[in-house]
A = this chain, B = another copy of it.
Amino acid sequence: MKMLVKQIYENAKELDKSKIKIKGWVVTSRGNKKIQFIELNDGSSVLHLQLVLKSEKMDLNDIHFKTGSSIKAEGILNYTPKAEQSVELIVDKISLLAQSDEDFPIQTKKTTLEFLRTIPHLRHRSNTIKAVMLVRSSISFFIHEYFQKNDFSLVAAPIITSNDGEGAGETFIVDSEDKEPFFGNNVKATLGVTGQLHAEAYALGLQKVYTFAPTFRAENSNTKKHAAEFWMVEPEVAFFTLKELIQMSEEMLKYVIKKVLEKRRDELVFLDTHIKPGLIQSLEDFLESNLEIIEYRKVIEILEKNKVFFEEQNIEFGMDLKTEHERFIAEKYAKGPVGVINYPKKLKAFYMYQNDDNETVAAFDLLVPGIGELVGGSQRENRYEKLEQRIQELNIDQKDIQWYLDLRKYGYSGSAGFGLGLERLVMYITGIDNIRDSIPFPRTPNNLKM
């Protein structure tokens, strides 16, 4: 029967002595005139299947498969739990489907991630990028599964928008090549930096919603954490308070991590071995932990006491936490993911709920080791006057977001939501430390391949 490598490993014992047909690509090939061993990968797993070719079954002089070539084979599966390879296929028939050129760039000799970034159309054929992309796919799906199981509706927030979102600036402009502006003369069309405001509109009516879509920032920064195009997951729930939001984010992350640990164990073992030792243990520790919540005010106290560790030592209430501070809080203080709440309002966007202290807003950032901020969210300001006042204080053009203010007129008694950067979650779960390796075709300043 036709099988995938992942299925074979998962059912090796039951499949022992079965006749198996398989297609895939040659990773390595070695041997002599009597016996040859071919490692085949078929893309379903980071694991390869060992094919064993014996001279009594075929003329091994005819077998010359270069690395990267596609082949098909059939044979009898041999389950050998005590051997180094727990399973192998004793081949009866094998044939070449398409030979690969000699210059196939993914050879078994060590290639660097930097080099692989120059060939985004081929790099997923390396073990590391393959493992990351398989994990990424599973993360994406389990996010959907979590929300759908919990009665959230997926909402397609628009990509092209007349709304500049958080007023964060740094947007991409969009237009057709025609003389006339495609969307008309009185509107500025940009690529959305967030789907949140649109999600809020839908939460008012559908109650529990989430978006899962690409978002964009034209930020001219070349860091390991920033890309111009990245995917965001933005749940929004009517009637939710900040506390309920934090609970939900913890539950969601734990659901996804637990599922990925089950489904993509082999890939995580590979990444633990080759990319980040201790990866699996740290994920399992998170599953066992209770998310600690700290007030921003308390964070400042902690940082102040430890300021010798930082480049930025000017620690005071009102400061924007840098990645070094966020990582310190997660890695040294909490020793795991940690939630920070109630930030000074001047640091945060206009739509956040203003606390009674008149100084802070009901914001929430989830900080994780190795990354810093993974999730940022808040309870939203439901009071029309407070929201309008904040918009005016910040000199945001009210006309553009009057529709958003208007939501407060029609039965809006509050909502809360967060944004989760998918690539950051991929980095956290795979241990990969550069965002360029967490997304198939990364877009950064002066870099647009394919």
Q: Show the binding face of A for B, using Cβ within 8 Å.
A: 4, 6-7, 23-26, 42-44, 68-70, 72, 97-101, 103-104, 120-122, 124-125, 130, 133-134, 136-138, 140-141, 144-145, 148, 151, 153-163, 170-178, 182-184, 187, 189, 191, 197-198, 201-202, 204-208, 213-214, 216, 218, 220, 228-229, 231, 238-239, 382, 403-404, 406-407, 409-414, 439-441, 443, 445-450
Taking the closest CB of chain B, its distance from the CB of A65, in whole angstroms, is 9
Specify which chain B residues have a CB less than 8 angstroms from the CB of A163 in the assembled complex: 450
Residue in chain B with minimal CB distance to A23: B239
Residue in chain B with minimal CB distance to A211: B440
Question: Do A158 and B6 touch across chains, with their CB atoms under 8 A apart?
Answer: no
Q: Out of B141, B197, B407, which one reaches A148, CB within 8 Å? A: B141
C-alpha gap A381/B92 in the complex (Å): 30
Residue in chain B with minimal CB distance to A214: B159
Specify which chain B residues have a CB less than 8 angstroms from the CB of A140 in the assembled complex: 144, 154
C-alpha gap A129/B74 in the complex (Å): 52
Taking the closest CB of chain B, its distance from the CB of A263, in whole angstroms, is 9
Question: Do B157 and A70 touch across chains, with their CB atoms under 8 A apart?
Answer: no
Residue in chain B with minimal CB distance to A152: B137
Q: Out of B124, B184, B207, which one reaches A205, CB within 8 Å? A: B124
Taking the closest CB of chain B, its distance from the CB of A432, in whole angstroms, is 15
Interface contacts beyond A104-B409, A176-B218, A187-B448: sample of 17 additional A-B pairs, CB < 8 Å, sorted by A: A7-B151, A23-B239, A26-B411, A42-B207, A43-B208, A72-B239, A97-B413, A101-B410, A122-B201, A122-B410, A134-B206, A136-B154, A145-B145, A159-B216, A172-B175, A178-B220, A182-B445
Specify which chain B residues have a CB less than 8 angstroms from the CB of A134 in the assembled complex: 153, 206
Question: Do A450 and B198 touch across chains, with their CB atoms under 8 A apart?
Answer: yes
Question: Do B98 and A382 touch across chains, with their CB atoms under 8 A apart?
Answer: yes
Taking the closest CB of chain B, its distance from the CB of A255, in whole angstroms, is 15
Instruction: Given the known inter-chain contacts A141-B154, A176-B170, please indicate yes or no for A229 contacting B182, CB distance below 8 A.
Output: no
Specify which chain B residues have a CB less than 8 angstroms from the CB of A44 in the assembled complex: 151, 206-208
Specify which chain B residues have a CB less than 8 angstroms from the CB of A403 in the assembled complex: 121, 449-450
Question: Do B121 and A157 touch across chains, with their CB atoms under 8 A apart?
Answer: no
Residue in chain B with minimal CB distance to A207: B43
Question: Do B406 and A121 touch across chains, with their CB atoms under 8 A apart?
Answer: yes
Residue in chain B with minimal CB distance to A121: B201
Lowest 10 CB-CB distances: which A-B pairs, in order? Answer: A176-B218, A97-B413, A43-B207, A98-B413, A43-B206, A183-B448, A137-B153, A158-B441, A121-B201, A125-B205
Taking the closest CB of chain B, its distance from the CB of A260, in whole angstroms, is 12
Residue in chain B with minimal CB distance to A406: B121
C-alpha gap A119/B173 in the complex (Å): 24
Specify which chain B residues have a CB less than 8 angstroms from the CB of A238 in the assembled complex: 23, 43, 70
Taking the closest CB of chain B, its distance from the CB of A344, in whole angstroms, is 27
Residue in chain B with minimal CB distance to A24: B207
What are 27 contact pairs spanning A and B, CB under 8 A?
Answer: A23-B207, A43-B208, A68-B410, A70-B239, A98-B411, A121-B406, A124-B201, A133-B206, A137-B148, A137-B153, A155-B440, A156-B214, A156-B439, A157-B440, A157-B441, A158-B229, A158-B440, A159-B191, A159-B229, A160-B229, A162-B450, A163-B450, A182-B446, A183-B443, A184-B448, A198-B450, A201-B450
Specify which chain B residues have a CB less than 8 angstroms from the CB of A404 in the assembled complex: 121
Question: Do A130 and B228 touch across chains, with their CB atoms under 8 A apart?
Answer: no
Q: Out of B197, B213, B446, which one reaches A214, CB within 8 Å? A: B213
Specify which chain B residues have a CB less than 8 angstroms from the CB of A171 in the assembled complex: 176-177
Residue in chain B with minimal CB distance to A122: B410
